[in-house]
Structure 1
Amino acid sequence: MASNNAPDPSSVRYDGSWAHRDVHANGIRLHVASAAPADPEAPLVVLLHGFADFWWSWRHQLTALAELGYHAVAVDLRGYGDSDKPPRGYDGWTLAGDIAGLIRALGYSDATLVGHADGGLVCWATAVLHPRLVRSIAVVSSPHPAALKSSVLRDNAQRRTWLPDFLRAQPPRLPEHRLTRRDGHGAAEVLHRRGSDSWAATADFADTVGRMRSAIRIPGAAHCALEYKRWAFRSQWRPDGRRFMAVMRRPIDIPVVSMRGEFDRYILPATVHRGPQLSPRRRVVTIRDAAHFAHQENPDAVTAEIAKLLAVHGEPRRPGA
């Protein structure tokens, strides 16, 4: 919801050991923060943030992966941060097309995808819908979409923790107000409710809260963030949603590491372990001393698991190969 003191989209372009770029892909402009070693042919790793967030959530992995010799790119997903905010395109098909287009626009024939929560769901969708472009995926607090749906339908505990927030996102206008009220306090509540108490006591948490509150107040960002959840819910009763879920049940034969913080109260252990037949080469890892935002709460542990995935399964094809 726009206001006279709403932040400019470019305000998310924070300085650091990365470069900011605009990349045109799938008919829109995506803002990315890119960190790469001197090698111009460094393999590509694309980092996708979660709900009400933006590229900054991957700051730790962005620099660490570049130091390990990878070209790391953290993207503001469609509708977020300094990326375009079109009125449509928040369905699984289009979001996967955005990332497929981004990989190609960056000059690569494939990439490893890393995603948190909603960003992880985009990783899963891209791997299924564009299999030649995805070499492996790492996800944080992001079960396979079919496994998540099954858990919500069959597991009372997961339904109680996940469904109320999902349903609160469905009405018009009011959810946007909740996210942006009091200078973005609603978005900060997501961090407080789902993060760990130990992280909440740190200066890093306070800094992250401030940046997240500012980013969600960028005109259009809150509405677009909620459109992800609205399509996921409403499409269940439409042909496009049924087709999407049917396609998503195709197994993916690529390496997957699925991470979950040991104190995550939002995504439960049984949900993460559900559906092994959907990704038979998946490895499930518990991240200690972390809750829902494990990549920020215990970044070294998450980076180590990503690095292990990249190292064990070899070098991706080089640009132009």
Structure 2
Amino acid sequence: MIRSLGEPDAALVGHALGGYLAWTAAVMRPKLVRRLVVSSMPHPRRWRSAMLTDAQQTAAGSAVWGFQRPWLPERRLVADDAALVGRLMRDWSGPRLPDDEAVAVYRRAMTIPSTAHCSIEPYRWMVRSMARPDGIQFNRRMKRPVRVPTLHVHGSLDPVMRTRSAAGSGEFVEAPYRWRLFDGLGHFPHEEDPAAFSTELIGWLKDPEPDR
């Protein structure tokens, strides 16, 4: 996508599963990523370790385990005009809930044909590949350090991805790394407090010395 837009590289921003992909892109295609911003997702190796060894994170990530069943998760996501999407967004947020208009947009998006399946399949791969050759190879390749400036954003009340699971991802970054914990926010900092999130993001992207 970056190359199709005629750009040599980009500042890549990803949330949750998008953050997992952003971490991966920065390692696998470093020449395409100028700066990296990840929200609500630890580095893939840290995620894997937490899900396998931390009982509290395993319980917090119960939705990921539930996604492993065939067909049923997709059906639940789209039932009643994707009502489950709205419930999850509110259950996984802190006290500052996403506004109704934003939730409605996400619900409508989930009802687009094949969207539910495409949103579930990556989580199935993340779990099912752990003991398979493709997952083992991926985990080994992700030992390569991230070598671009990285901003890591997290909500202190995130019930899905615990703070201690995300914190420490800087050990995989050999570049300026900034950890930003938003007090009172949950799994969706960009929707719960868009002004604060955007201010942090834009300020960091404009900072010529992000390691300060």
Say whether residues 1:184 and 2:82 are aligned partners.
Answer: yes
- Residue 128 of structure 2 corresponds to 234
Q: 2:27 aligns with which of 105, 122, 128?
A: 128
User: Max radius of gyration: which structure?
Assistant: 1
Aligned partner (choices 149, 163, 169) of residue 48 of structure 2: 149
- Aligned sequence identity (%): 34
CA offset digits 1:243-302 (Å, max 9, x no partner): 111111211121111111122111111111134320143211012342110011111221
Q: Which residue is 2:163 aligned to?
A: 269
Please say if 1:299 is aligned against 2:191. Answer: no
What CA distance in whole angstroms lies between the structure 2 residues aligned with 1:107 and 1:155? Answer: 43
CA–CA separation in structure 2 for the residues paired with 1:207 and 1:190: 15
User: 3-state SS of the aligned residue for 1:283?
Assistant: strand
TM-score (structure 2 length as normaliser): 0.92
1:168 partnered with 2:66: yes
How many Å separate the matches in 2 of 1:209 and 1:300? 17
Return the alpha-carbon distance in structure 2 between the equivalents of residues 188 and 166 of structure 1.
Answer: 17
Letter in 1 for 2:10: A
2:41 maps to a residue whose letter is S
Q: Which runs of 5+ in 2 are unaligned?
A: none
- Out of 182, 186, 190, the residue aligned to residue 287 of structure 1 is 182
- Please provide the CA RMSD for this pair: 1.5
5+ residue gaps, structure 1, are 1-101, 315-321
1:121-145 CA-to-partner distances (Å, cap 9, x unmatched) read 1111110010011011111101111
Counterpart code for 1:123: A
- The count of aligned residue pairs is 208
Task: Pick the structure with more helix per residue.
Answer: 2
Counterparts of 1:79-90 in structure 2, within 5 Å, are none
* TM-score (ref. length: structure 1): 0.62
